[in-house]
């Protein structure tokens, strides 16, 4: 028998029983933000195929970042793609226009459970090979601060480059240069959605950087005090 699925968004729970489907979007079973024209009317779907639950991207433009509850697995769900919901908790985050949304999908009887060993370092599974300079970490923190300070699922916004630069006390030119550097670094490590190109907005790149960094624990709430102690040091 397949597991029953429950979705938590902003503290509201939506339950999906055997044989049912739940659509997520601007005009869907789970209405995320009906006033955001950048969000698809129907963006994601949770559907059961035989005994397996799947999360399907039924949109045409937006992508979502998917991770398990521990942050040790991360996937990029492009339009038309699907991923099985095998963990007890699957976290989903996506950005539409200036707004970032995240929700949690809970499985009553998950197909897979990760067993951590006694010496398993938190967050190191995904990000152990990433070496950030202090200023690169500060840059990510300035962009990720709204998501980090809000606990649970819900809605946040990614600061503009000018807002993040002001938060750090940096000139905008310095911020943009370091943003290019950290995005290039993560792109070389295989993180998708960070390279600019024709038709790609800078806000999408910043949002993707925040999604990856928070879910892979490149930055955590414990790092936030670094922002208040930020100094204008060029270590790149």
For residue range 173-219, list pLDDT tens digits in order: 999 999 999 999 998 888 888 876 655 555 578 988 998 898 888 99
What phi, psi does 49 have (nearest 5°)?
-120, 110
Instruction: Report the alpha-carbon distance of residue 218 to residue 148 in Å, rounded.
Output: 12
pLDDT in tens, 74-96: 888 999 999 999 999 999 999 99
Distance CA 155, CA 68 (A): 19
């Amino acid at each position: 028998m397949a597991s029953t699925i429950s979705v938590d968004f902003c503290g509201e729970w939506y339950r999906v029983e055997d044989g049912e489907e739940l659509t997520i979007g601007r005009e869907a079973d789970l209405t995320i933000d009906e006033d955001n024209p950048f969000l698809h009317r129907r963006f994601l779907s949770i559907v059961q195929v035989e005994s397996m639950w799947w999360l399907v991207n039924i949109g045409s433009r937006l992508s979502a970042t998917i991770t398990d509850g521990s942050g040790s697995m991360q996937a990029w769900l492009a339009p038309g793609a699907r991923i099985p919901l095998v963990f007890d908790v699957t976290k989903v985050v996506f950005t539409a226009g200036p707004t970032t949304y995240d929700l949690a999908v809970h499985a009553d009887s998950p197909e897979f459970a990760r067993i951590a060993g006694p010496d398993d370092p938190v967050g190191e599974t995904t990000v152990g090979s990433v070496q950030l300079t202090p200023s690169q970490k500060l840059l990510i923190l300035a962009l990720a601060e709204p998501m980090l300070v809000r606990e649970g699922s819900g809605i946040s916004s990614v600061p503009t480059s000018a807002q993040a630069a002001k938060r750090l006390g940096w000139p905008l030119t310095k911020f943009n240069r370091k943003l290019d550097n950290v995005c290039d670094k993560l792109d070389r490590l295989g993180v998708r959605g960070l390279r600019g190109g024709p038709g790609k907005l800078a806000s999408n790149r910043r949002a993707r950087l925040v999604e990856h960094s928070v879910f892979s624990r490149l930055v955590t709430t414990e790092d936030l005090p670094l922002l208040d102690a930020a100094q204008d040091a060029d270590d790149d």
